[in-house]
Homo-oligomer: A and B are copies of this chain.
Amino acid sequence: MKYCSRCGGAITRNIPPGDTRERYVCTQCGEVFYENPRMIVGSVPEWEERLLLCRRAIEPRLGLWTLPAGFLENGETTAEGAGRESEEEVGAPVTIGPPLILVNLPRIHQIHLFYLGRLEKLPSSPGHETLETGLFTETDLPWTELAFPSVRLTIEYYFQKRRERRGFPFHIHDLRIERTLQPVAK
């Protein structure tokens, strides 16, 4: 960030009066620009006894498997965003159920919120961000080819709770991973 988006002036970093943190501040008009974590919303889509995953057609993690999810947009609720992203990436409608897990990723300034989802019909062709979709049980799931740590964590939590057969209590988990994510092996 070099220029003020309001007046075009030069940007500096300092702690504004009454604040406790360094912010981007315009040296010309004084505007303060705050940066805040972003929310990623998605679902864990069930089809009978199996889970749907999407193989990514885009970077990062092209070719690896993920749950359908993406950035929450202005103007939508978290469930609406999770449904929109799921339908876009899966290529078929997903009914959004109760919230399952919220994963804090403070190092990369993200919060990932996953809902339980019910796949309403089998996709004929996936969305443009997805190479292919697959339905998996816990044992045949591509554990060594998962795209993101939060996806692994969410899938593990989902199967653990399903095995316990006492419902899916909402859970918050903190993942203090580094900025550069690496694919994770089981």
Contacts and interface: CB of A to CB of B under 8 A. Distances in A.
Interface stretch (A59-67, A99-107, A132-140): A99-107
Most chain B CB inside 10 Å of its own CB: which residue of A77, A102, A109, A170:
A77
Given A77-B174, A104-B77, A172-B78, A72 B37 contact: yes
Interface stretch (A4-12, A44-52, A146-154): A4-12
Interface in A1-28: 1-8, 11, 18, 21
Contacts of A3: 3-8
Given A3-B8, A21-B73, A73-B36, A170 B99 contact: yes
A5 B12 CA distance: 12
